[in-house]
Amino acid sequence: MQTNESQQKTAAAPATAAVPTGPDPDVAKIMGEFKPFLSVPLEITIELGRANISIGDLLDMGYHSVFELNKSAGNNLDVYVNDVLLGRGEVLVIEDRVGIKLNEFADKHD
C-alpha cells in the first residue's frame, strides 16, 4: 500500500507523450526501397480541354481564331502523368510562374 505522499508524487509527475523526432521508420524504409526509381522522369500533361475539328477547319485557322473546347470556364483542369489521369486541379499564378493546385485525385477507373 502506498502512502499518501507517494501517491501525490506520482500524481504530480508530468505526463510524457511520444514526440516524433524524425520520419516514421516504416515510411523511411519504404522510401528507401523506392530510391532507385526516384530519378525516373515522368511526363506531366495539363489538359485544358479537347475539341474535334476537321483538317479543313484547322487549315482555315489564323491569328485570333477561336474554337470551342469540351469544358466550361472555371472547371478543373485534368492532370495526366504518362497519359494516365492523376487528378484535377486549378491554375495558380505565383509571380510570373503558372502552376497547378491539385484539388482531387482520380479514381483508379478514370
Cell digits of residue 70? 469540351
pLDDT score for 6: 47
Select the more confidently predicted residue: 41 or 31. Answer: 41
> Is residue 53 a part of any domain in this protein?
yes
Select the more confidently predicted residue: 107 or 29. Answer: 107
Band (pLDDT 50/70/90 cuts) for residue 102 is: very high
> Is residue 6 a part of any domain in this protein?
no
Q: Which of 81, 108, 80, 79 lies closest to 92 in space, CA to CA? A: 79
How many angstroms separate the CA atoms of 49 and 66, rounded?
A: 13
* Domain interval for residue 82: 41-110
How many angstroms separate the CA atoms of 94 and 32, rounded?
A: 33
Band (pLDDT 50/70/90 cuts) for residue 21 is: low
Cell digits of residue 40? 525516373
> Is residue 95 a part of any domain in this protein?
yes
**How many domains are there within the chain?**
1
How many angstroms separate the CA atoms of 47 and 66, rounded?
A: 17
> Is residue 12 a part of any domain in this protein?
no
Assess contact for 65 and 104: CB atoms under 8 A: no
pLDDT score for 109: 58
pLDDT score for 38: 83
pLDDT score for 80: 93
> Is residue 23 a part of any domain in this protein?
no
How many angstroms separate the CA atoms of 91 and 48, rounded?
A: 10
> Phi, psi (5° rounding) for residue 83?
65, 15
Select the more confidently predicted residue: 36 or 23. Answer: 36
Give 35-93 pLDDT, tens digit per residue. Answer: 888 889 999 999 988 999 999 999 999 999 988 888 888 888 999 999 999 999 998 99
CATH code of the domain containing 57? 2.30.330.10
> Is residue 85 a part of any domain in this protein?
yes
